[in-house]
């Protein structure tokens, strides 16, 4: 198994370091936080605050380098990657893929880059929030672009599978439009719901129950991290926000004119049922030969149908799709 170097040891990076080590890989990490580095070292993990040294070690071992820092910190970090580990397999866990892909093309063009984004997390942050089991059964987007090296893609996918997740092959634009719908818009709604509820004062807080807690859970996430993901995905998020505002406007107009909210509530109920049906749908097996001329197209078609990669057999990706 290929060694792994994780740069950034917050919730996701710290969980990945733990999970990759538990899978039997040789793993080391680096963080700018001396507090996190000390806590990780005391926990028995190989961690330093010297990113240059960690990257030089990655280059010597031909390791997978994983960028696990917020998007605003990526540019400077990629300069270091280009200087010290320019030919390594490079992946990331950044929640926006288009800007990340553009940055890699500009700053570290010789790395074998495969974008990544695990669809897992909590509202907590920092090394101490990490969990070896965080990625168990989670979807993890593994990027497929025209220039993607499929040998590197398979290496990143193998790491994803080793930490308990399943891989969803997607291009950056499909990823960003989709997470705008199911991740970034919910973060904005949670922020608005939390602020509206708080305006109700102590009484509102004392009566808040399950629906309010469920709707506002992610509002407890680090504001800097939420800003990085939502602002970084501006182009994809804006039309989704417009769609949501249009639906809210229609609901408001219906409530004001007729007192009825049936259309809005029924559509939401149908959406929730569709989500549950998709989760429970029977899966059929799919095989994608990574040596085939149309392998990239096959991977993307699988991912965009909601399919996933669950295993690798040599140069064949084993998948499931409903």
- With a cut of 90, say whether residue 81 has pLDDT above it: yes
Q: What is the pLDDT of residue 173?
A: 97
Q: What is the pLDDT of residue 255?
A: 97
Are 148 and 120 a contacting pair, CB within 8 Å? no
Say what percent of the chain tops pLDDT 90.
94
- With a cut of 80, say whether residue 154 has pLDDT above it: yes
Q: Alpha-carbon distance 196 to 200, whole Å? A: 7
pLDDT digits (tens, 9 = 90+) for 208-217: 999 999 999 9
Confidence of residue 279 (pLDDT cuts 50, 70, 90): confident
pLDDT digits (tens, 9 = 90+) for 29-79: 999 999 999 999 999 999 999 999 999 999 999 999 999 999 999 999 999
Q: What is the pLDDT of residue 283?
A: 87
Q: Alpha-carbon distance 255 to 250, whole Å? A: 9
Q: Alpha-carbon distance 254 to 248, whole Å? A: 10
* Residue whose token pair is 């308990």: 164
Q: Alpha-carbon distance 166 to 159, whole Å? A: 10
Q: Alpha-carbon distance 19 to 212, whole Å? A: 33
Q: What is the pTM of this model?
A: 0.92
Q: What is the pLDDT of residue 263?
A: 95
- With a cut of 80, say whether residue 123 has pLDDT above it: no
pLDDT digits (tens, 9 = 90+) for 306-316: 999 999 999 99
Copy the structure tokens of residue 28: 């080391």
Q: What is the pLDDT of residue 168?
A: 98
Q: What is the pLDDT of residue 198?
A: 96
The backbone region for 119, taken as left when phi is positive above 0, alpha when psi lies in -120 to 50, beta otherwise, is beta
The backbone region for 4, taken as left when phi is positive above 0, alpha when psi lies in -120 to 50, beta otherwise, is beta
pLDDT (mean) for 239-266? 97
Confidence of residue 125 (pLDDT cuts 50, 70, 90): confident
- With a cut of 90, say whether residue 226 has pLDDT above it: yes
- With a cut of 90, say whether residue 299 has pLDDT above it: yes
pLDDT (mean) for 186-202? 97
Q: Alpha-carbon distance 96 to 119, whole Å? A: 12
Sheet strand arrangement including 4-7 = 47-48, 27-30, 4-7, 64-67, 89-92, 112-113
Confidence of residue 290 (pLDDT cuts 50, 70, 90): very high
Confidence of residue 201 (pLDDT cuts 50, 70, 90): very high
Q: What is the pLDDT of residue 215?
A: 95
Closest to 168 in 3D by CA, of 150, 143, 191: 143
DSSP states of 101-117 as a string? HHHHHHH-TTSEE--EE
- With a cut of 80, say whether residue 270 has pLDDT above it: yes
pLDDT (mean) for 174-192? 97
Q: Look over the chain and give the mean of its residue pLDDT values, rounded to a whole number.
A: 96
């Amino acid at each position: 198994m290929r060694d792994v170097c994780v740069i950034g040891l917050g919730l996701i990076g710290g969980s990945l370091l733990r999970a990759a080590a538990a899978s039997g890989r040789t793993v080391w990490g680096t963080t700018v936080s001396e507090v996190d580095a000390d806590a990780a070292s005391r926990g028995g993990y190989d961690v330093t605050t010297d990113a240059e040294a960690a990257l030089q070690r990655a280059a010597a071992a031909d390791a997978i380098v994983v960028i696990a820092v917020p998007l605003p910190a990526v540019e400077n970090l990629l300069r270091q990657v280009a200087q010290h580990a320019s030919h390594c397999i490079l992946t990331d866990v950044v929640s926006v893929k288009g800007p990340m892909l553009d940055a890699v093309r500009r700053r570290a063009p010789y790395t074998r880059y495969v974008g990544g984004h695990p669809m897992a997390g909590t509202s907590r942050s920092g090394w101490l929030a990490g969990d070896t089991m965080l990625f168990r059964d989670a979807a993890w987007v593994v990027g497929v672009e025209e220039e993607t090296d499929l040998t590197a893609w398979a290496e990143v996918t193998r790491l994803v599978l080793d930490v308990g997740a399943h891989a969803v092959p997607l291009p950056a634009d499909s990823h960003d439009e989709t997470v705008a719908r199911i991740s970034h818009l919910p973060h904005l709604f949670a922020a608005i719901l939390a602020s509206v509820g708080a305006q109700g004062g102590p009484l509102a807080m004392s009566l808040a129950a399950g629906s309010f807690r469920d709707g506002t859970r992610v509002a407890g996430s680090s504001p800097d991290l939420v800003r990085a993901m939502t602002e970084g995905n501006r182009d994809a998020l804006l039309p989704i926000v417009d769609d949501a505002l249009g639906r809210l406007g229609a609901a408001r107009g219906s409530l004001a004119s007729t007192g009825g909210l049936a259309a809005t509530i029924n559509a939401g109920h149908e959406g929730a049922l569709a989500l549950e049906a998709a989760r429970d749908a029977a899966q059929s097996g799919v095989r994608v030969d990574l040596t085939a001329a149309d392998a990239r197209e096959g991977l993307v078609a699988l991912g965009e149908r909601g399919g996933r990669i669950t295993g690798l057999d040599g140069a064949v990706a084993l998948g499931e799709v409903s």
